Each structure stands twice: as C-alpha cells, then as structure tokens.
Structure 1
Amino acid sequence: MFDWENIRYFLAIARIGTLSGAARSLKVDHATVSRRLSALESEIKTRLIERQPRTCRLTPIGQRVFELAQEMEEGAYAVERLLDASRSPLSGKVTLSAPPVLVANFLVKHLADFRRANPGVQLSVSCEARQVSLSRREADVVLRLTRPEELTSVARKLGRVSFGLYASKDYPHLHDPSAWEFIAYDAGFVGVPQQKWLTSVAGKRPIACEISDINGHLVAARAGAGVAGLPDFLADTDAKLQRLTYGGEAFSRDIWMAVHRDLRRSPQIRAVMDFLVKIVAENPALADHRP
C-alpha cells in the first residue's frame, strides 16, 4: 500500500501545476515536494507527472490517479468532519478564513470576547483573500465578500461593507475633483469589484500609485498620496481622512459566511458562527439595513 502523505503532495502538484507552487501551498521546501513525488512514483512504478522547465503536466495515468485521489481525499475529510462534529461540546480548534481587511480591522478586536465566552475553543484566524476549500479542510468557517459557491457548503449573508472615496484632510487637491489622483490595486486585482468601481470613478484621471493591500491604501491616503476607495467602517472614524463626494453610484460588497454542511451543527463550529453573526449585527457600519 502506498503512503497517503505522498498522495497528498501529488494532489497539490496536480492542482497547482508547479513544484514550487505546491511547496508554497503545503508550506514545505521544493526538495520535499520533489522527493515525495518521486517516492510515490517509485512505490507504484508509474510516472504520474511530466516535469517540464516551468510547469508539471499529468500523464494520462496521472490524470486518472488524480481523479481517484481526489475521491480518496474527500472521503478522508468526510471522516474527519464526522469526528469533529461528534466531539464534546465547545472544545477543539476552529479555523476561520477571512479577508485581511476584516481580520485586521474588525475581527481581532473581538477575539478576547470570544475567548471569554468559549474558553475551550481555540480560534485560528487566517487572513486570506483567495477562495479556500471547505471540503479540503483549508478552513472550517469562511467569511467572504462574494457568495461562496462550493456545492458542499451552507452560506448565509451577514451584512455588507460599504465603500467611499477618502483622502487626507491635507491633500492639496481635496476640493478640486478634476485634479484628484487615485490609489488603486495592482494588475493582480483586475476584475475585483472594488478595483472596477474605483477605476470607473477615476475615469481619465491619473492613478497615483498601485498597492495590493487595502491597509496600504489607508496608510497612503492618510499620507496624502491620493484618493482611495476605502471601506466606510475603516475610514469614517479616521481623524486624518476626509470623505469625498463624487457623482457615481454608491458601492458596497456583501459579507457572506459559509461552513461545510457536515459541520454546521458541530458545537464549536456553531459557537464561531454565532459569534460572527452577533458581532456583524452589532456593528452599525457592517449590518445590512437594506430592505
């Protein structure tokens, strides 16, 4: 029988397409990934991956093994979810994945309250903008600004993040919209809703700088680098920033929570979900009051 750990490494390579990308995903070095793949191929005496200079391609038998291995993985995670759901109430570790802007500027402020209410639950919070898989246990609960579409998940809308234009009160063009220069995201965010909104508002006016992180936008705006599109809950209370009036439509993004359907009744998962519902509902800037 082959080593399941080797299969796990093979799955990462097959999904990502490079050894280096798989290494980053698994948080190991490149050599470990290469060694695990070689060990698997040696065990089954079959070449699964064609290693090319910049990518890895599945062989025909590798593609079939990949399909079967995904079914094995789902079965293993199903057993894990079953065991987690049956454990004693309010104990264990729960992994929560959420966008960096919600983690750094909202969630961390409430972690002490959660711990006091649920001392047996260890909450592990991961800052991630990417979509993670609940089926593969990349997280137990997710918060996202788009509705999660994984078929095995159960999703609920909690609230919304409204956005506005902000600049430093010392910004030299504060009262001259024709001279505004904008702080945008870099090319990796093409197609992201807030980037599309900001560039539509900017129109033909120049982009002063590109920053990949929303907290960087906040710091740059405070320093007078230009006009930024920022979440209202983050910027409205900042004494150094001025909210600007513009002619475009209002922009907001919904906050969605999702959990794997097998875990939604697990006591520790339920505690985290109830906690998220509560803190969003109690924050006037995030609670959704639209009809």
Structure 2
Amino acid sequence: MDWDDLRVFLAVARTESLSGAGKTLRCDAATVGRRVTRLEEALKARLFLRSPQGYQLTDAGQRLLPHAEAAETAMTAAGEDLGGTAGKISGQLRIGAPDGCANYVLPQVCAAISDLHPDLDIQIVALPRVFNLSRREADLVIGVSPPTAGRLTVQKLTDYHLHLAAHRDYLARHPPIRSTADLGAHRIIGYIPDMIFDKELDYLGETGAGPVRLGSNSVSVQMQMVRARAGIGVVHDFAIPGAAGVVKVLPDEISLKRSFWLIRHADDRRSDRMNRLAEALSEGLRREVARLEALT
C-alpha cells in the first residue's frame, strides 16, 4: 500500500470533498479522485460514498482510517527523529481556541514558544465553536469543556475566573449598583442566546442579570462593547488588564470559575514533537492566565 495514497485518503476523509483534499495536498481534484480510485482498486473495497453533499466514509473506510492515521503518525515521527536539530522544533502548529483565550492569552504564549523555536510556524484559529480534530482542523485544541467522545487525549490545563465588569465612565453615568437587584436598571452585554456553542459559556444565568440587550457570539466583541461604555458584561479576569478603565462589578457577590482543557488526537501521543509542543503550550497558558489574573 502506497503511503501517498493513504495521505490522499486521509485528506478526503477530513475535508469530505475532492476539492478540499486538493487544496490540502496542493494538487487538482481530478488527481485526488484518481488516487482514491486507485486505492480502492488495490484494496478491493469501496472507501467512500459519493453524493452531492460530499464524500462520506463507508464501513471499510472507517476501518481503514485508524490504520492510515497510525501510518501518518509514524511517518511524522520518522521525519522528526531524522530531521531534528539541537532540540529545535520546526514545521507548522495550528492551535484552535475559543476567541477569549485566543485574543487575550495565546498571543503572549505563542510568542514565547516562537522565541524558543524560530523555525516553527504557529497559527492561532480563533472560532466560537467546537473544533473537529478528526478532520485535523487544528493540531492542538483548547476547549472550555472536556469532550466525551472520539479518539482524543484530554487534560485539564487551568481554572480561570470571570466577573461582571463595566467601564468606570459607564458606571459614573448610570444608577449605582450595590446588589444584584440593581442590575435590572442596566444594559446587559452577553452572548447571543441561540449561538452559545458550549453550556460552560452560558454565564448570565448564574449572575442574576437581566436579558441581553447587546449581544455577540464573540467574547472579544463583548469586551469591546464594555470598553465602549455600552453596558455591563461578564468578562474574563485575564482580559481586564488590557482594557483601561474597565473594572469589576459586585466582585464579592458574583464570581464565576471555568476551566481550559487541552484536547489532542490520541495518536499524537506517539509524537515527541507534539508532546513537547503540548507541554510548552500547557505551561505557558497556565503561567499567563495566573499572571494576568494577579493584575486585576
């Protein structure tokens, strides 16, 4: 079985299309289609169901998938073993994260990793949704809750804290807030309710605050609304040091705690490169969250 054919198989399985696989592999869709057909003929098994909606794995394709992923891991490990220099890591690392972490914590963490490994290309994908590791949308994912299904390795990174917050100028122009009962007189900033992609992000139910009057599916947009003196919102403590004039509201009465989790594909445990990168990311994130929260 040709490794290049397995690479094509994995690309189609992850993108569910010939064109998507072609972009990943930097070749045309027709070539991808011929390679898939060649692999199916060699194995005497149909690997994909073709439809207008895309390419879906058959039972035979599902059985082949873990073997192809194991081959990919072995080839990557061989390249790392033969090509490594003085402990430096090169290549590409794509990190998926919710936009709060991606905006306020990861830039500093990734800058430090890049200083240690200047030939490493780091990409931060900040999206308010759950990432699909089986499709290799990212190499490492930071989540706000641990997944319960899939061939994944999950470890808790650190707790982080959130509070109601507003700009000092907003608070000076509006009725005082001495208890949660006073929140009803204020404009609330938060998530668009039907776009909350993880139950851990459903903050307002725990605060006693009223309905969302200014909403966004992005944490960073919500913070910009708070900075614009538009109202009161739940913000990450680690975001406050970078937002001049923003202060906590009722910190002794309302305090939320959540956790970040590092999520990896199970096969990546065999890769020394990925283990080292995961360790560097984990240590850096814990340290940066603790540093920023200590400033609030």
Give the TM-score of the pair, scaled to structure 1: 0.71
Q: 1:151 to 1:64 in 2, by over 3 A?
A: closer
Match of 2:81 in 1: 86
Match of 1:163 in 2: 162
In 2, distance between residues paired with 1:200 and 1:34?
Answer: 53
Q: 1:260 to 1:71 in 2, by over 3 A?
A: closer
Secondary structure of 1:49's counterpart equals strand
Give the TM-score of the pair, scaled to structure 2: 0.70
The C-alpha deviation readout for 1:76-106, integer Å capped at 9, x for no partner, is: 4333443355342423224233322222212
Match of 2:287 in 1: 282
What is the identity, as a one-letter code, of the residue corresponding to 1:250? S
Match of 1:197 among 200, 203, 209: 203
For the 8 Å contact 1:167–1:174, the answer to whether it is kept is: no
Aligned-CA RMSD value: 4.1
In 1, distance between residues paired with 2:213 and 2:258?
Answer: 25
In 1, distance between residues paired with 2:21 and 2:36?
Answer: 19
For the 8 Å contact 1:90–1:268, the answer to whether it is kept is: no
Equivalent pairs counted in the alignment come to 272
Secondary structure of 2:108's counterpart equals helix
Deviates more, 1:155-164 or 1:1-10: 1-10
Q: 1:149 to 1:72 in 2, by over 3 A?
A: same
In 2, distance between residues paired with 1:121 and 1:129?
Answer: 25
What is the identity, as a one-letter code, of the residue corresponding to 2:50? I
In 2, distance between residues paired with 1:274 and 1:178?
Answer: 45
Match of 1:11 among 10, 13, 19: 13
Deviation at residue 234 of structure 1 after TM alignment: 0.2
Share of identical aligned residues, percent? 18
In 1, distance between residues paired with 2:75 and 2:282?
Answer: 25
For the 8 Å contact 1:94–1:124, the answer to whether it is kept is: yes
Deviation at residue 159 of structure 1 after TM alignment: 1.4
What is the identity, as a one-letter code, of the residue corresponding to 1:256? W
Match of 1:206 among 188, 208, 211: 211
Q: 1:199 to 1:112 in 2, by over 3 A?
A: same
In 1, distance between residues paired with 2:223 and 2:265?
Answer: 34
Match of 2:50 in 1: 49
Deviation at residue 127 of structure 1 after TM alignment: 2.5
Gaps of 5+ in 1: none
What is the identity, as a one-letter code, of the residue corresponding to 1:92? S
In 2, distance between residues paired with 1:7 and 1:284?
Answer: 40
Q: 1:42 to 1:272 in 2, by over 3 A?
A: closer
For the 8 Å contact 1:161–1:286, the answer to whether it is kept is: no
Deviation at residue 217 of structure 1 after TM alignment: 0.4
Match of 2:59 in 1: 64
Gaps of 5+ in 2: 177-181
For the 8 Å contact 1:158–1:288, the answer to whether it is kept is: no
The 5-angstrom pairing of residues 209-228 of structure 1 reads: 209-228=214-233
The 5-angstrom pairing of residues 145-164 of structure 1 reads: 145-149=144-148, 152-164=151-163
Deviation at residue 249 of structure 1 after TM alignment: 5.2
Match of 1:99 in 2: 98
